[in-house]
A and B are shown apart, each in its own frame.
Chain A
Amino acid sequence: MARNKFDVDENLESPFDIRHLKRAMVYVGRYKWRMILSLSLSALAVIIGLFAPVITQHAIDEVIPSGDIPMLLIWAGLLLLTIVVNIILATIRSKIMTKVGQDIIFDIRSDLFEHLQRLSFEYYDSRPHGKILVRIINYVNSVSDTLSNGIITFVLELFNIVFIIVFMFAMHWKMALVVLAGVPFLMAFIMFIKNRQRKAWQAVSNKSSNLNAYLHEGIVGVKVTQLFVREDENAAIFSGLSEAYREKWMKAVTYNNLLWPTVDTISATVSACIYLVGLLVIGPASVSLGTIVAMSGYAGRFWQPILNLANLFNNFVNAVSYLERIFETLDEPIKVDDKENAETLPAIEGNVEFDKVTFAYDESKTILKDLSFSVKKGESVALVGPTGAGKTTIVNLISRFYDVNEGAVKIDGYDVADVTLKSLRSQMGIMLQDSVVFSGTIADNIRYGKLDATMDEIVAACKTVRADEFINEFPKGYDTEITEGGSTLSQGQRQLIAFARTLISDPKILVLDEATSSIDAKTEKLLQEGLDKLLEGRTSFIIAHRLSTIRNCDKIMYVANQGITECGTHDELMAKKGDYYKLCTAREREEN
């Protein structure tokens, strides 16, 4: 599995893809009516806005010269009215667009998160978690404005430009051409920077991703850092990442900042040209002086919206660099998913069968080859063998965390690949090697196994795993908050909580992967007694190194050499004098 780490950029080799835009438009499209409404309001505001100059013009030309003060007040009132109406329209539009913008990012973020929930371990295992986090939170936030207000501004300014072009041509087409002559220069400039700018912003998003990845690990791994006195070195690495980010950022904003001076300069040049062409080339003889003045005014009004569009373009290029990443994540294939006609797995009885299963995490290294075995309902199976031989892999295949390459894993005759993941996993109790607990109270954590569990059920589960006692010693008992820092609970206590969490889910098949490794022998023995009663009639798979745990199982499987080399009860395997026997006697020698 190719893994990514904090100082490796995640390359994205796709050229600029118009489909990103189309896809973004799908999110925008959901709110098209509100978008159209606010567009109409804006258009209306523009029209009403046209009245203001007319009113002032009239006041200057007619009312003031006439010296009619009451009349002046009336016109002033009219002016105020247009202003107020305009502002009301603008406010309503802004309110609508604020909501639309927020709704769009809510949608994108929801989709992203939902998709992430369907991705398998592999996705999470192959990149720093900070890089996933930054996409859900920071990247999504960065695109909101461009996708809401940006679009409205774009349409409005486009209208504005068209409107003015028509006006200019109607007035004097030759002069209009002079105004438009600046456009090809701008286009050439945009063509010139477009790809560089896009690359630069992609680099920024990459560097920010790296930075956040390291930050995240720095926080999560702080204890190790302190123990190994690595603070200074880590800080230096982080400064390096910070510096790389700053460098790319400066490069990207240089392109952004170049755009508007270019527009400004072209605009000024065009204005100058109007005077030159109007006065010297065409000559006052064939163009009225009023037209020249008016045209220079229009030139300003033509280039202002272009300037706004240029700013929009900048934001847009920036947003696309984030959108690409978001869509990339959304496109991440779901490796293990419900088949189209997946059925719901009925209540599990507990017969598990491996039928010629072959499995490899990656092509180069086969973990299991042609493995077949069957376990009857109610049996407890211990998996033993050297670390890395594939014990965890076997139990992972039962819960379909990975799909087999060949063969099938069957529960009660159902191929696990043919049933829905939810119906499969919700009937299994899987206790993993690292017992992650979430922040929240102890009761909340246990309730995770059964969302509607009553307090009595929670207490009962905790009593079974012998956690009740220590929980009650906390001043707040089951309402004790568990913190990430972990001073509240010891590792062993965490395992007990995780154990209770698994038990309360009433699993039909129980998988314990080193579930009790951090629990002391005495507690484990008590726990075992409680567990034995509970496990009656349920199938269980146990990975453990402690013989005390192993030897009580109905069946012991020795996992090695891409399969199971020995299988039987403790006594049978001891009689066989094979690998298991060696394992046990090694232990015996040690003890004596």
Chain B
Amino acid sequence: MFQIKWIWENMKGYRGRYILALCMTVIGQIMYLTSPIFSQNIVDTFIYNENAAENLKNNSKLLIILCCGMVLFTLMRTVIQFNANMLYEKCSQGMLSKIRNYLLANVQKQDMTYYDRYRTGDIMTRLSGDLDMVRHSVAWIIKTLLESLVLFCSTTVFFFILDPLMALCLLALTPLIFIISGMLRKEVGPKFVDLRERLSQLNTQAQENIAGNRVVRAFAREDHEIERFQEKNSEYSEANKTASLTWLKYFPFIETTAQGLMVVHLIAGGIFVITGRLTMGEYVAFSGLIWTLSNPMRNVGALINDLQRFLASASKIIEVYYSRPIVVDRADAKEMPARLNGEIEFKNVSFSYGDTEVLKDISFKIGAGETVAIMGETGSGKTTLINLIPRLYDVNKGEVLVDGVNVRMMKLNNLRKNIGMAMQDVLLWSDTIDGNIAFGDSDMPEEDIEVFAKAADAANFVKNLSDGYDTIVGERGVGLSGGQKQRISLARALAIRPSILILDDTTSAVDLETEKHIQENLANLDFNCTKIIIAQRISSAKDADKIIILKDGMISEMGTHDELLKNKDGYYTEIYNLQQGNIE
């Protein structure tokens, strides 16, 4: 089974300890089986013995030794078992941490297409509930399996020594357990797959509700949300019941088989005693140990059940574990200087999301230090175009070059460290404001943070917040107004002193005066930087060295402000007139 091999791979560093724990379990189990020796001895010597009274009188030391031995033996056993358990915990937690950390790292490396396929709630389920199931199996399923095995094997050997025929009679029921378990496995497997799918859906439903809590309130859709959640809640609940009831369907048969040993023992043993094959003492010896066969037998069913659950969860995690992003460093990636110049060139670039072609045959060139504005209608491909520069997506056709080198030939880190991007959909972290600004360089000194906050015209409002730069903003920046968020996001982009600065409609929610300040500040940065600005307003675009107008994924106009205004039917002129006309 691949899942188990995968677990074993991830146990590296803990394998030795895990095997040690398994050995300790075997020892503990054997000690458990042999512990009655002490009381047996006491009973044989001091109670049911012809010379019991005499022994007691002359040899009371032995009694005390045996009693102490009994306590010490138990103490030793529990110490061993305790340590074994702690080792299981240590190993399973170690493995859990390792897998979890790897998963987060891996999830973070996935490109945007991955996030188009998987929902947040689904990924969360895999990294929480599913992972816990895997931990549980490593910690306990294997241990229980081993304990059962030790019990079963040692007793079987003992029984065969005692009387092979009797042993065979008792073991005759064993195949039955395997047949029943096999049936259970087949039936319950899909139920667990369904169950964890329902959990994922429930998680997604709740996650989206929390993320969209403002919309829910705004539309007074609380009842509707509750209804939808209840649906998922009840589906999950039903799936849980179905899985449990499937187990309970087989449970009586497994249990009857396991306890049926007592009946077999009574019939076979009875007949053997009657026919003189067994002594009464041997019969009683068998009966005292029947549980050591029946317990493992009943455990098999429960283990198969748990195992199926483990498999359902593990395969979901493995899917994430082995996901590989499409956008990766090439093996023959070129070494580039740490700081790029910032020349950008698009050569016949086409790009589509699935079947929808978004960019068609885009070509343009931006010199280092130039400012380029991109304008165009909603959905014309502006954001897609700039996403291609830091390789959030790879082009389908053509190439994007930075400093004359195809970005696909660069190392992602090298490339991205040179690009400061403020996205349209501002995403801040639930962290302090300075933590957010210094996101790209967490060692940044306070003074620098303030410098960049000033450049983004955020310093003033930050100062007015109760905790200043230590104010914690909520997830996604809630608590700040749209314009404030945009400015923090701009400061964050500036703070890495990028050689390419990309602003995706970053000033749409700030007032005009602030926008003007920001533009002045951007023109006077103390480092060289190529700027690409997506804008809706002419005022943001007009001073650019080059203005690119996108229409349906193609460049329809390109030039300076004055050049574009010459084209009387052009989009730029139209927008210019539209916005100019408002002033009168």
Report yes or no: A229 in contact with B241, Cβ–Cβ below 8 A.
no
Q: Which of B199, B237, B274 makes the CB contact (< 8 A) with A102?
A: B237
Cβ of A64 to closest chain B Cβ, rounded Å = 5
Is the C-beta of A177 less than 8 angstroms from some C-beta in chain B? Answer: no
Bound complex: CA A215 to CA B207 (Å): 13
Taking CB atoms, residues of chain B closer than 8 Å to A258 are 82
Closest to A545 in B: B511
In the complex formed, the residue of B with least CB distance to A393 is B481
Give chain B residues whose Cβ lies under 8 Å from the Cβ of A455: none
Kindly specify which of B306-314, B466-474, B522-530 makes contact with the partner chain: B466-474
A346 at the interface (CB under 8 A from B): no
Which of B5-13, B169-177, B265-273 is the contact stretch?
B265-273
User: When A113-B226, A229-B440 are in contact, do A470 and B378 touch as well, CB less than 8 Å?
Assistant: yes
A505 touches B219 (CB 8 A): yes
- Contacts of B206-246 to chain A: CB distance below 8 A: 206-226, 229-230, 233-234, 237, 240-241, 244-245
- Return the contact of A222 from the options B47, B115, B219 (Cβ within 8 A): B115
Within 8 A of B (CB), among A179-233: 212-213, 215-231, 233
Query: Among B86, B128, B220, which residue has its beta carbon within 8 angstroms of that of A257?
Result: B86
- B217–A121 contact, CB under 8 A? yes
Measured CA separation A129–B233 after assembly (Å): 19
CB distance B97 to A117 under 8 Å? no
Q: B138 CB to closest chain A CB, in angstroms?
A: 14
Q: Does A368 contact B (CB under 8 A)?
A: no
Please provide the chain A residues from 220 to 279 with a CB less than 8 Å away from any CB of chain B in the complex: 220-231, 233-235, 238-239, 242-243, 245-246, 249-250, 253-254, 257-258, 260-261, 264-265, 267-269, 271-273, 275-276, 279
- A273, B206: Cα distance in complex, Å: 57
* B158, CB-defined interface residue at 8 Å: no
A586 touches B262 (CB 8 A): no
A contact patch SS: helix
* A118 interfacial by beta-carbon distance below 8 Å: yes
List of B residues within 8 angstroms of A470 by Cβ: 378-379
Chain A residues bordering chain B, tally (CB within 8 A)? 179
Which of B185-193, B251-259, B337-345, B447-455 lies at the interface with chain A? Answer: B251-259
Task: Give every chain B residue within 8 A of A165 (Cβ-Cβ).
Answer: none
Determine whether A132 belongs to the interface, using a CB cutoff of 8 Å to chain B: yes
> Are B377 and A218 in touch, CB under 8 angstroms?
no
Pick from B47, B110, B224, B413: contact of A451, CB under 8 Å: B224
Cα separation A341 to B521 with both chains bound (whole Å): 56
Q: Name the CB-closest residue of B to A141.
A: B129
Binds A, one of B101-109, B328-336, B361-369, B398-406: B101-109
Instruction: Name the residue on A nearest B268 (C-beta).
Output: A76
A-B contact count (CB 8 A): 482
- Contact segment of A371-379, A421-429, A530-538: A421-429
Q: Which of A527-547 contact B (CB under 8 A)?
A: 545-547
A6 on the interface (CB 8 Å rule)?
yes
Contact A110 B233 (CB under 8 A): yes
Complex CA–CA separation, A279 to B56 (angstroms): 8
Complex Cα distance A321/B25, Å?
Answer: 30
- Given known contacts A137-B203, A284-B52, A132 and B210 CB-to-CB distance under 8 angstroms: yes
Interface status of A88 (Cβ within 8 A of chain B)? yes
Main secondary structure of the interface of B (DSSP, over half): helix
Decide if B226 touches A521 in the complex (CB within 8 Å). Answer: no
* B538 interface residue (CB < 8 Å to A): yes
Q: How far is it, in angstroms, between the C-alpha of A127 and the C-alpha of B210 when the chains are bound?
A: 11
List residues of chain B with CB within 8 A of the CB of A385. 511
Q: Is the CB of B583 within 8 A of A584?
A: yes
Q: State which residues 458-507 of B face A: CB under 8 Å.
A: 461, 464, 466, 472-476, 478-479, 481-484, 492, 496, 505
| Residue in contact with B484 in the complex, picked from A56, A218, A276, A388, CB distance below 8 Å | A388
- Whether A436 and B212, one on each chain, are in contact in the complex, defined by CB atoms closer than 8 angstroms, is yes
Interface 1/0 per residue, B365-396 and A, CB below 8 Å: 00000000001111100111000001011000
Provide the residues of chain B in CB contact with A522, threshold 8 Å.
377, 571, 574-575, 578
Min distance, Cβ A327 to any Cβ of chain B, angstroms: 18
Q: Which of B266, B416, B575 has the most CB of A within 10 A?
A: B266
CB nearest neighbor in B for A142: B132
Residue of B nearest to A421 (CB): B220
Query: In the complex, what residues of A have CB within 8 A of residue B412's CB?
Result: 229
Whether a CB of chain B sits under 8 angstroms from the CB of A464 is: no
Contact A257 B70 (CB under 8 A): no
Question: Residues of B contacting A496 with CB < 8 Å?
Answer: 378
Indicate whether A64 sits within 8 Å of B108 (C-beta atoms), given known contacts A258-B82, A387-B484. Answer: no
Task: Output the least CB separation between B447 and chain A (Å).
Answer: 21
Does A340 sit at the interface, judged by CB under 8 A?
A: no
Which of the segments A15-23, A312-320, A486-494 contacts the partner chain? A486-494
The reply on B149 being an interface residue by CB < 8 A is no
Contact of A438 among B60, B212, B240, B574 (CB under 8 A): B212
Query: Does residue B421 face the partner (Cβ distance < 8 Å to A)?
Result: yes
Contact A426 B220 (CB under 8 A): yes
Measured between beta carbons, the chain B residues less than 8 angstroms from A215 are 104, 124, 127-128
| Contact in complex: B516, A586 (CB < 8 Å) | yes
A239 to B508, CA, bound (A): 37
**Complex partner residue of B47 from A289, A492, A505, CB under 8 angstroms:** A289
Q: Complex Cα distance A147/B252, Å?
A: 24
Contacts of B212 in A (CB 8 A): 436, 438
Can you show 16 pairs from A to B with CB atoms below 8 A apart?
A69-B270, A72-B271, A76-B266, A84-B256, A98-B244, A98-B248, A113-B230, A133-B121, A215-B127, A222-B110, A246-B94, A271-B39, A364-B466, A426-B220, A431-B218, A487-B112
Contacts A102-B240, A132-B210, A484-B119 supplied; 16 other A-B pairs, CB < 8 Å? A128-B430, A130-B124, A137-B206, A215-B104, A218-B108, A219-B123, A227-B390, A242-B100, A249-B89, A250-B93, A257-B89, A275-B66, A387-B483, A388-B483, A483-B119, A521-B537
Closest 6 CB pairs of A and B: A492-B378, A261-B78, A485-B116, A268-B74, A387-B483, A485-B115
